[in-house]
Structure 1
Amino acid sequence: MEGNTRSVSEARLLSDRYRVDGLIGRGGMADVHAGHDTRLGRPVAIKLLRSDLARDPSFQSRFRREAQAVAALNHPNIVGIFDTGEERLVDAAGRTVSAPFIVMEYVTGHTVRQLITDQRLTIDIALRHADGVLAALQYSHDVGIVHRDIKPANVMVTDEGTVKVMDFGIARALEDTSATLTQTQAVLGTAAYLSPEQARGERVDARSDLYSAACLVYEMLTGRPPFQGDSAVSVAYQHVRELPPAASTVNPDVSPALDAVLGRALQKDRRDRFQDAGAFREALRATAGHDLGAGAGSGSHADSFATELLPRGTRRLAAAPTAGPNEAPATAALPRTAVPTPGATATPEPLVFGVGTNDDVHPETRARRRAWLITGIVALVLVLGAVAVYFTNILAARPAPPTTVAVPAVANLSQADASTALANADLRIRPERANSTTVKDGYAIRTEPGTGARVNPGTPVVLVISSGPASVALPENLAGRSADQVRDQLRQLGLDPVQTVFKNSATVSGGALIDTVPSLGKKVPAGSRVDLVVSTGKVTMPQLVGLTEAQAREQLAAADVALPVTVKAADNSVVKPGTVTGQSAPANGNVDQGSTVTITVARAPAQPTPSPSPSASGPGSGPSPTSSPSPSPTASSPSPSPTSSPRPSPTASSPSSPRR
C-alpha cells in the first residue's frame, strides 16, 4: 500500500484507512503511535520507521524484515500483525522519503521491564510470564523464526494477564542465521541478554533465544540480570567467560530446583542447554509443582496446562476432508455398545449353523470329511515347514552387520601416542592443528568424532593437536588511555587484566595507563594475565636541602619530576652561600604534577662599614680600630701652652733614664 505525500508534522491517514494518533513508544529505529482502523472501527498500534532513518536502505530492509517475520506468526502470545504499507513523507529538508509502517494489534498493559522496576513479580507470577514467553518462542521456532532480542522491554503483559512478545525487529529465519548482523562492528541485540554465541558474532539458532529467555527469567526472579558491568563490552565478556551467581543467592525464595533449571539454561555451550522451548517450559512447570495458570494461550488466570504438548511435526493439523453430496461421510460414528451393568450376568445367545448335527450325517460322508480334514492338516504343515525353511535360508544368507570400533580416548596424549592408539583401533588419522590455552603444544586436544563414538574400521578420524596458546601482541597505543578502556580492550583480545598497580608519573595524567606487565608491544599467550601500571597524577619530591642552587634546579627539571621552581634568598652565616637550606614540600613526599616548588638559598650576611680616621690627631695617638675617633684639638679643651706643662727636652733628661 502506498499513500499520498504528506508533511511529517501533519496528522495523517495512512493508506486512506489508518488514522495516526498520539505517540505511545519509541525504539531505536521506529516510533509507535496509537491509531484507529477507520474501516473496521478498531484501535490499532502503528509502527512507523523514523523519517531520519527512512532514507537509509539498511534500516528499511530491517524494518521490512520484521514485518515479514511477524506476519508469518499467529499465536496468542505474539503481538499480531494486521497490515503493512509505505507512506511517502516530506521531511524537514523538503525531501520526499518512503517510510514503511506496520499496523499491529493494540495491546494495553505493562512491559515486564515496568513490572520488574515496580517489584510487582512474585515467583509464581514470574514463572507464569516465563511460560507465556516460552510458548511464543516454541511457536516461532517451529515456523523457523528466531527472535534474537528477547528482553524485558520486548515482553508485554496485558491487563488480562496474557503475555505478548513484541519487536521482532532483528528476527531472522533459521536458515538465514548464518550471516552475522552487525552495525558499526557491534552485534545486534541487548548486551545484558546476549547469548555467548551472539557476543562472539557466531551463527545463532533457537537455543540462543532460550539463553536470552533464561536471562529474562533470572531477572524476573531476582530483580537484576545475571551479569552486570560498567560497559556493554564487559557484560558481553561475562556472558562468554564467566558463570552467573545462583538466583537463590540474590533471592532466597528461589528453590534449588529453579537454580538447577536456570543453571542448565544459562550454559555457555548451546549443546548443554535445553534444546527447545518445550523442554524449557516442562522444566519450569516441574519446579512450580502445580499449574502456572495464565501465560500461554488465553488470558484467563483460571487456565492451566491441560493441553498436552504434541511432538514436533504434529502441531499443524490438516482440515478434515468434506464428503460430497452423494458420498457417505469419510468418518462415521460407531454405534454405541451396551456396557453390562456390574454384577449382571449376560445370557449368551445360541449359535445356529446351517448344517445338522453329527447324528444326521451319513457315515460315508463323515469318513470323507475326516479324510479331507487330515489331508488339509498335512498340507498346511508342509506349507508352514517350507515357509520356515525359506525364511531360515534368507536370514542365514544375509551378511552379518559390519563390526564397528570405538574411537579411543587420546586427549592430553602426545601426538605420537595418540596416533598409535588410533592406528591400533584400525582407524585412519587426519591430523589438524589448533590453538589451546589448556593443552601443551604437540599434545592431543580431541578427536572428531569424539571419544567413544562407534565407527566402521578404516574411518578417517580428525586428530586435533595443540599448537599452544595463540600469541597476542599488547597494543603499544594503550599508553595514556584510561584504565577502564584498557581493561575492556585487553578482554576483547582474550587477555585477563587482573591487578592494577599505581605509580607516580610526571607526564601521564592521573588514572591513565603508564605501562603493563608484560610491557606494551610484547607478545603473550592468549588468556594470559596482564597487570596494569596506572598513573597517580603525582610526582615524588626529591631531597634538595644541602644541594647547591644549580643542583636543586637540575633535580627539579629531571624527566621524572618536571616541577617549576622559584628561589628565595636568606642571610645565613652558618652554611656556605648558594646552598639550599629549605624546600616548600617535604622530601620523598607526593606532590601534584606541575606544582611550583620554592627553595631557600643561603646568602652571606652584609659586613659593617668602618668610620674614617681624624686628620689632626696627636702624635702617636692614632685611634684603635674599635674605639671611637679622638676629638679634634679644636673641639676639646685647649692644648697646654709650653710654659704651663714644659716637656723635657732630650738634653734635659736624666742620664740614667732609659731610652725608649
Structure 2
Amino acid sequence: MNIPRVLNGRYEIGELLGRGGMADVYKALDTRLDRMVAIKVLRGDVARDTQLQARFRREAQAVAGLNHPSIVAVYDTGEHPSEDPLQDGARLPYIVMEYVHGQTLRELIRADEIGIDRAIEYTLGVLSALEYSHRAGIVHRDIKPANVMVTADASRPGRLGTVKVMDFGIARTMSDTAATMTQTQTVMGTAQYLSPEQARGEAVDARSDLYSTACLFYEMVAGRPPFTGDSPVSVAYQHVREVPPPASKFNRDVSAAVDSVLLRALQKDRADRFQDAAAFRRALRAARTGVTLAPAAAASLPTELVTTVAAPAPAPFVGSPAAPAVPEPRTTPLDGDGPATRAMAKVLAGGALIRDDADLPEVPVEPDRRVKRRRRAWIATLFVFLALILAGGGVFGYMWLSDRPAAPVPVTVPVLANVSEEEALAQLSSLGLDPKPVEEFSTDVDAGNVIRTDPHAGVQVNPHTVIDVFVSKGPSEVTIPKDIAGRTESEVRAELAALNLAFKPNDFVTDPQIQANLVVTTDPAPGTSVPVGTEVTLKISNGQVDMPSLFDLTKDPAQVKKAVEAALTKASPTLAVVFEEAENTAVAPGMVMKQSVSAGTRVAQRTTITVTLAKAPAVEPPSDGPTPTEEPDNSGPSSAPKP
C-alpha cells in the first residue's frame, strides 16, 4: 500500500512498526507538536469491507474518550485518499496514537523474562486500565499478550515498566454488548483468551474481559496458556467444557494463593468469577502476601458433569426375607447425546465408573405374587430402619445438648491505622477473621492505607467475625497543579486524570507568551482546590497576538526604534520588526509614519512587522553658470557709421 511521505500535511511517516489483520502501524513525527507518534492505517486490500471500516472507526471512538496512564492515548483521526489505482479513489481511515517504546507481553513471555511478582504487577496494571474503561462503559473483548505493551523502563534493573493496553478494535460499549461475538460463523477474538460466553457466541460484559485477563496472567506465571489445542475450535471447546490444570503444575514457584485466584477468575459461569476489576485487584494483592481464597463449592466443574446418583439399597436384617437383586441406579442423563458428551461424563456410582447405559444390569421380570411379597418385606425393613434412625437421633440430640461445645477463644482486633490494605488483610486473615475492605475519602491518610476498622482496634471478637477495613481513597478534594502553563495537552490531561478530575471541551484563547497548541491555564484556575470528579476546561493557546499601535510612542526621533521594539516585545516576544524609511513632508523625520499591520489586528506568532519611518525630502544644490533663460544685454551705446 502506498502511504504519502507526509500525511495530512502534518505527520512525517517513518518506519513500519507492525502489520495486523486489517491495518498497518507506522512510526511518524508530528511536525506541529514535534513529537513521535504511531499511526495505524487501514490496509488498502480491506478498504471495501464496510464491517472492518466500522470496526476501525469504532476503535478510535472507544479510546478517544479514555484518558488513563495504562491505556494508549489517541491523539487524532482522519482519512487520506489511497494512491493505489485499483482502489477506485477509496479513502483509507487512520488513527494517530501515543508512541510507546517498549515490548509486548508476548515478547517478554517468549523470552522467559517475567517472574511471579512482575506478572502480578503487570496484571494489576491491566486491571487498572480495564477498571477505568469499564466505568466508562467500554468492554475491550480482546485482552491478550500481544495487546499489552510494557514501556522501556522494564529493561532497567529493579524497575517495572508501565503497562499500556492497546487495540480496542473490537471493543463495544456495554449498551451494545447484546451483539454476540460471532459474525458469519467467525468468532472475533483470540481462541487462547476467549471467555466461555464468547466461545458460545453469547453477549459479553466486563466479566468477560476479566476472564481473558486471567488467561493472560496464567500464561505469564505458567509459561503457557490455560488451554492449548491443534485448532482454535478445540481450544474454544476446552474453555467451555474443561477445567484448566493448576499453574503450579508448570511452575513450582506459583503459590497456592495464586492458584486460588486463578481458579476463581477462570470459572465457566461468569457469576462465579470476580464481579469487577477492583475485586480481582484486591485478590491479587492479597495473594502476593500469601492469602488464599476460599474455594467456590463445585464451581470449577462444568454443570453438565454434575449428576445425582441414587444411594445403594441397604442390606436386609438377619432373619428377614431375602432381598431381591436390585439393579444399580442409573445416572441422570447428560446434556446432549453425542460421542463427545458421553466421553466427558464421569459419574461415580458404587465405586464403578459408568460411561454408558450399556454397563447397567437388566431388571429380571418376576411374577406378580413374588413382587408383592418382596414389596411387603421391603416396607417392613424400611419401618425398622426408621425406628433405628429416630432412636439414634434422640440419643445424639441428648448427648449434644448435655455436652455443649467449648466457647470459642476470642481474638483481639489489631491496630491497623496507616497500614497498607494488603498487609491489613493478611494480618486479619492470619488471625482467623474475615476482612471486608470499604473505601472512603480521607485527607489525613494516604490513598491505599487503612483509616480504621469496625470493630475498632483492641476489641475482642469471635473467630470468623467480619471486620470492616476502611481504606483511604485519598482526599475528597484535590488541588489543580500550578505548573501547567506551556505544557502539552496530553501531559496535562494525564496529570489531571490521575487526580480523578473530568474534562469539558477545550477553550482556545489568545496568549502572547505561550506557543500555539500548548496549555495556557485551566478553569478552575491552577492552584484551586476542587472536589474529586470536577470537570475542568483546558485553555489552549491559539497562537495569535493582538497588534499594538506603534505611533507616537516617543517625541524623541532618536528613541523611536527602541520604543517600537519594546512595544512589540511587550505584545509578544515572538514578533520581529523591520524598519524602512520613506520621504514625507508631513511627518517629522525619524518618526513612525506607517506600520504593516494595523493596530488591533490579530496576527500569528513569529510574524515580522514592517515599520516605515519618515525622512526629509532631498534639496537640490544652486548652479554657478547662467540660467538657460538668460539673454545678452544689448542696451549699451552703439557706434554709428561715419558720413
TM range (shorter): 0.3 to 0.5
The higher radius of gyration belongs to: 1
Q: TM-score, normalised by structure 1?
A: 0.44
